[in-house]
Chain A
Amino acid sequence: MINKIAPSIQEALSAISDGSTILIGGFGTAGNPNELINALIEQGARDLTVVNNNAGNAEAGLAALLKTGRVRKIICSYPRQVDSYIFDGLYRSGKIELELVPQGNLVERLRAAGAGIGAFYTPIGFGTEMAKNADGSPKETRIIHGKPHVLEYPIYGDVALIKAEKGDRWGNLVYRKAARNFGPVMATAAKYTVATVHEIVDLGVFDPETIVTPGIFVSKIVKIEHVATAAGGFKKSKDAA
């Protein structure tokens, strides 16, 4: 019998090893799997590479993980936010490596990893800093249909940590509103995907037409308490003064 429901987050994350690449869902605070990140901090894996759109907001979730100093490198599109001070400090003091990736390249590189695509050409980034490798050497380029393109490689995850809304024991998932964001793509791109859900339903309860992530992409699901997503990543006008 297939049962992907893990009894606890701790159990679901027990096998994560040092040096892993961890894909973490979320855009700003929406879809951030804070409970999984907190358990990863507790679990203690270090020398991690983290992939997320941002680089943490205020003190919680990803920001708290960065604060532990166990993240060697972050791959993201938009680290700088009004409340990204933990990342900002680590970056300025040279304690974290940053690979900045245009957001569409970030998600397409994840998609490529999940879909078994070896590399892809895209016009995004041509003629910009993004068409250079970390050592400053140029990335491969090619003219396709008269338009210059840059060669981009997949981002493979060892682990994906994502936040969904509901799941069943086969690992089928549905999400909530714009908290879906990177979850379904990251689930495909990692060897081991853990999703938190607020509700576990019996098999067959989901309308098969509406399942967003089919269970084949999911290793474990864990039920957590429902907590409303907090605001983050922008300046509230009432605080602005």
Chain B
Amino acid sequence: MSQYQRRSKEELAKRVAQDMFDGAYVNLGIGQPTLIANHLPAGVEIILHSENGILGMGPAPSQDAEDFDLINAGKQPVTLLPGGAFFHHADSFSMMRGGHLDICVLGAFQVSATGDLANWSTGEVGSIPAVGGAMDLAIGAKQTWVMMDLLTKKGESKVVATCSYPLTAIACVKRIYSDLATLECTPEGLKLIDMVEGLDHAQLEDLVGLPIRS
């Protein structure tokens, strides 16, 4: 078996950032996707949207400049870039649901080969459900990308034939950026975009347990 190295979280963020294009309006989901902001390619102007009513969101402020009226979707303090704007929630969700965002990047528990997404609940008995803006983003953005580890801690593939966790939306994911490979979800199933060095196609298909077109 050949040797391969997983992409670190930072490497994965950099890989996603590579595919962002100049002028794109982008929403980065809570958690891992927020790392992408640190790796945007030079010379590319990306406008970040935050669901709570911000366009042109900038990086975290220094601790003495924190203002908790200026927070991101994860409720952490952020800044506003020159040219940025504030607006109310109905306008913000019109941007999301009305197809105005070019790209959203979300985390996921499971993604099906045809792009069904499960990222809001594991359906565990006794857990408190919370959905937030995940469904609005998944359906509303022009392109929905997922950023996640390919395998669970137990080594099971998070890319599946059919999601077993409660769905966020049907056939909404266009691309999966993972620590081992970048995949495209199509109505006909998975297609390979790239994979880490040292991993071969047959090995990847074996890990995922599904056919992957090259």
- Chain A residues with CB below 8 A from B208, complex form: none
Q: Contact check: which of A28, A182, A183, A228 meets B75 at CB < 8 Å?
A: A28
Using known A-B contacts A31-B69, A77-B130, A176-B69, determine if residue A182 contacts B88 with beta carbons closer than 8 Å. yes
Are A178 and B93 interface neighbours, CB within 8 A? no
* Bound-state Cα–Cα, A101 to B14, Å: 33
A17: shortest Cβ distance to chain B, in Å?
27
How far is A92 from B71 in the complex, measured between Cα atoms in Å? 29
- Chain A CB count within 10 A is highest, among B92, B93, B170, for B93
Tell yes or no: B204 within 8 A of A by CB.
no
- Say yes or no for B90: interface residue by CB 8 A criterion: yes
Contact with A along B110-139 (1 / 0, CB 8 A): 000000000001000011111111111001
Cα of A183 to Cα of B90 in the assembled complex, Å: 10
Tell me if B70 and A102 are in contact (CB < 8 A).
no
- What residues of A have a CB within 8 angstroms of the CB of B144 in the complex? none
Q: Which residues on B sit within 8 Å (CB–CB) of A102?
A: 131-136
Interface residues of B in 41-93 (CB under 8 A from A): 50-54, 66-71, 74-77, 80, 86-90, 92-93
Contact of B71 (CB < 8 Å), options: A79, A91, A111, A178: A178
Q: Which of A14-37 contact B (CB under 8 A)?
A: 27-31
How far, in Å, is A230 (CB) from chain B's closest CB? 6
| Distance of B58 from chain A, by nearest CB (Å) | 13
Residues from chain B with a CB closer than 8 A to the CB of A29 are 68, 75
Contact A30–B69 (Cβ < 8 Å): yes
List of B residues within 8 angstroms of A91 by Cβ: 128
Distance in Å from the Cβ of A26 to the closest Cβ of chain B? 10
Q: Does A212 contact B (CB under 8 A)?
A: yes
A139 to B68, CA, bound (A): 38
Q: Chain B nearest CB: distance from A199 CB in Å?
A: 15
Q: Are B132 and A30 in contact (CB under 8 A)?
A: no
User: How many chain A residues have a CB neighbour from B under 8 Å?
Assistant: 54
CB-based contact B86/A178 at 8 Å: yes
B151 interface residue, CB < 8 Å from A?
no
Which A residues lie within 8 Å of B69 (CB)? 30-31, 176-179, 229
The listed residue (A122, A175, A212) touching B97 by CB distance below 8 A is A122
A180 at the interface (CB under 8 A from B): yes
Stretch in B5-13, B20-28, B161-169, B183-191 touching the partner? B161-169
Is the pair A88, B128 in contact by a Cβ cutoff of 8 Å? yes
A215 proximity list for chain B (CB < 8 A): none
Check A103 against B88 for contact (C-beta < 8 Å): no
A206 beta carbon closer than 8 Å to chain B: no
Does A126 reach chain B (CB closer than 8 Å)? yes
Q: A127 at interface (Cβ–Cβ under 8 A)? A: yes
- Contact digits for A94-113, partner B, Cβ 8 Å, 1 yes 0 no: 00001011111101101100
- Of A78, A124, A129, chain B has the most CB atoms within 10 Å of the CB of A124
Q: Looking across the interface, which residue of chain B has its beta carbon closest to that of A31?
A: B69
Q: Is A142's CB within 8 Å of the partner chain B?
A: no
**B contact residues around A126 at 8 Å (CB):** 169-170
Asked if B107 CB lies within 8 Å of chain A CBs, one says: no
Beyond A102-B134, A233-B74, 19 extra complex contacts between A and B, CB < 8 Å = A27-B89, A28-B52, A29-B68, A30-B71, A78-B131, A78-B132, A80-B127, A92-B128, A103-B89, A104-B93, A104-B133, A125-B135, A129-B121, A130-B131, A179-B69, A181-B53, A185-B88, A228-B67, A229-B69
Q: Can you report 16 residue pairs joining A to B where beta carbons are below 8 Å apart?
A: A27-B71, A28-B75, A29-B75, A78-B132, A81-B75, A81-B130, A104-B93, A105-B136, A108-B93, A127-B170, A130-B135, A178-B50, A178-B52, A181-B52, A229-B69, A234-B74
